[in-house]
Amino acid sequence: MAASRSSALRTVIWKELIDIGRDRRALALMILIPLVGLPLMALIASGLSSAQVVTVYFAILDNKSYPIVNWLSSQLRQDALQQGLNLNITISSAPPSGVYDVEVIVPYGFYENLSKLDGVAVMIVRSMVGNYASQEAMSLISSIVSQLSGQIVVERVEELAKLANVSIVPSQLLNPIQLSSGYYLPSGAAATQQPVQLSFSVRLLEFSLFFVVNPAIVLVTDSFLGEKERKTLEVCCRHRYRRESLSSGSSHQQLSWAS
């Protein structure tokens, strides 16, 4: 019985291989499109992003804020260079007269509010809709402003410490809780680096199985539909082969091609 089922399974797999081998165009597209298409799309997207020039306009309506904006633009150039982003930065005291990819407006009173111990300074940042490179530039600006905000908070804490005549470490005052993380095994023992890496590899493998199973499901469905269109599905079902052998054989064959 087991030998008969094995023979039927091999027959079905061989039939499916012959059917796919006849359609050489589909076979070539099945192999070439993933190998060529995905890397080509990545190269095109990367090339377009690096070739595009992002125009950034700094409108300084507060004259006292020029040193801050000059530092911000300098940091933005450095970070953009590391990210492979091509920027064209303009700094002016007038509002933008044209259309720019990113607009940064420093309103009047920005420096005064920033100098107060409890002041909140507002910086207006706008980017062009649908422009991926401008979104990257805006993300860099947000990161730099966040760093600047952290430095100002530290300076304010130091100023308050001087007024209170106490000695403190600003970083410890602002971050009173530190999180020490790690991993452990089901036995309760501390996990080494090797089991942790193995766990992440297994998760990655589980995720990658989707890209193998998904085309295999499509190909198995196409195989049965092709048999139905050629009116050979009824012949296969009336044959001595069991339906489990038909479905299992098609699945094994399509999984081998998908992998």
Q: What is the pLDDT of residues 102-112, one digit of tens each?
A: 999 999 999 99
pLDDT value of position 5: 58
d(CA 11, CA 14): 5
Q: How many other C-beta atoms are found inside a 10 Å radius of the C-beta of residue 111?
A: 17
Band of pLDDT at residue 257, cut at 50, 70 and 90: very low
d(CA 87, CA 76): 9
What's the chain's length in residues? 259
Q: SS3 of 28, please?
A: helix
Q: How does pLDDT run across 117-154, given as a tens digit for each residue?
A: 888 999 999 988 877 788 888 999 999 999 999 999 99
Which residue did the predictor score with more confidence, 210 or 254? 210
Band of pLDDT at residue 251, cut at 50, 70 and 90: very low
d(CA 182, CA 187): 15
The pairs formed by 214-222 with CB atoms below 8 angstroms and a separation of 24 or more are 215/30, 215/254, 215/258, 216/251, 216/254, 216/255, 216/257, 216/258, 219/254, 219/257, 219/258, 220/247, 220/250, 220/251, 220/254
pLDDT value of position 83: 84
Model confidence at 229: pLDDT above 90: no
- Of 29, 43, 75, 46, give the one whose Cα is nearest residue 257: 29
